[in-house]
Amino acid sequence: MTRVTKDMIIADVLDINKGTAPIFMSAGMHCLGCVMAAGENLNQACAVHGIDADELVSRINEHLSDK
């Protein structure tokens, strides 16, 4: 199983599993298709959106472990 980390690019996480999109959306990250998603890592995006990066990564990894 792939483990997501805070230094991974958002688009790469979506490529691993498209089912992570609702997790991003529920956290307030609605711009998954924007240019920044292809160049911004999770830590950077969370900082911009005021989201706890550790919590988001934990939720994503929990989702992936269920697969």
Q: Quickly state the pLDDT bin for 39 (edges 50, 70, 90).
A: confident
Q: Residue 26 belongs to what domain range?
A: 10-65
The pair of three-digit structure tokens given for residue 26, joined into one six-digit string:
């529920």
Q: Give the DSSP per-residue string, 28-50.
A: T---TTSHHHHH-BHHHHHHHHT
37 domain residue, yes or no = yes
In a domain, 3, yes or no: no
| 25 band by pLDDT with thresholds 50, 70 and 90 | very high
More confident residue, 67 or 9: 9
- Name the domain count of the chain: 1
Q: What is the CB neighbour count within 10 angstroms for residue 66?
A: 7
pLDDT given for residue 52 in this prediction? 97
Average pLDDT, the chain: 91
Which amino acid is located at 62 in the chain? E
